Amino acid sequence: MPGKDALSNAHRALLDSWFARWEALADHSWPLQDTTVLRVRADGGDFIVKASRTSHHIDREIAAHRSFLSSSTAAVPRLVHADVEAKILVATYLPGELVEGTAAEWVTSTYRKAGQVLDALLVPGEVSPDYVGNLRDRGLRSITDAGGLVTAGHLDELRKRLTNIASRPVRLSFTHGDYHPRNWLLHDGDLAVIDFGRADQRHWTSDLVRLQAQQFAARPDLAAAFTTGLGREFGEEDLEILELEWMYQAITTVVWAHGIGDVPFEEHGRRMIARIVN
């Protein structure tokens, strides 16, 4: 079976306990990550199985399903089974074609729909007195980790800008954490969102950074369509925190990608930094 050998004995035992019979149909695992992602057929239906021996992203995804996604009106997978200790979950399989790499990735209607779905996902949460300060401080620590990976001048500029950011309370929202076409599915004209392994409570603008750094960079029409679908106004505070999110995600992209040997993504992080400081 595709990918079945990547599951641990404990993972297979749990699947055997949850389903009378199951078989793996396809392996959707991403390289360079310690997570097995399988499409399985079990008890007359299709499901997605995600399992890992070490990844904390499984824990996050299970928490996202249990805390927010179970009642969300957005088109998302629904949790069927989960075991946090064993790091495995089973969710409903959503039909459709991934947007990334298709013609739909460059069509404004896709982004209008994606904006609408994100608006449905962004459930407001608590007001955090520490979020801005913590993000600033984590960014500063990542600058230290990025020594030798990014030009000294760029690191100095990032350090100066981050140091000047004052902590203040902000309202957080449930955020996807990796919101872009690689995690969007189109089926019969409807857009669904998958992969909540990076979901967390953040400022809502954090889910805009990847799009602004990639698809929106040379296509302002896509950005405009997305903003129309999202239906949110950017206040002065939102724009300031968006810049902080940009700096944090740029520097951590370089450090994280270097750590797992993802050279293209590491270079993408450097381009993000150059765009900020120039």
134-179 residue pLDDT tens: 999 999 999 999 999 999 999 999 999 999 999 999 999 999 999 9
Query: 31-49 pLDDT, tens per residue?
Result: 767 899 999 999 989 999 9
Contacts of 232 (CB under 8 A, 6+ apart): 119, 204
Edge-to-edge order in the sheet of strand 22-27? 22-27, 36-42, 45-51, 88-92, 79-83
Q: ∠ CA(4), CA(5), CA(9), 5° rounding? A: 95
Q: pTM for the whole thing?
A: 0.93
Contacts of 208 (CB under 8 A, 6+ apart): 179, 242, 245
For residue 200, give the amino acid letter: D
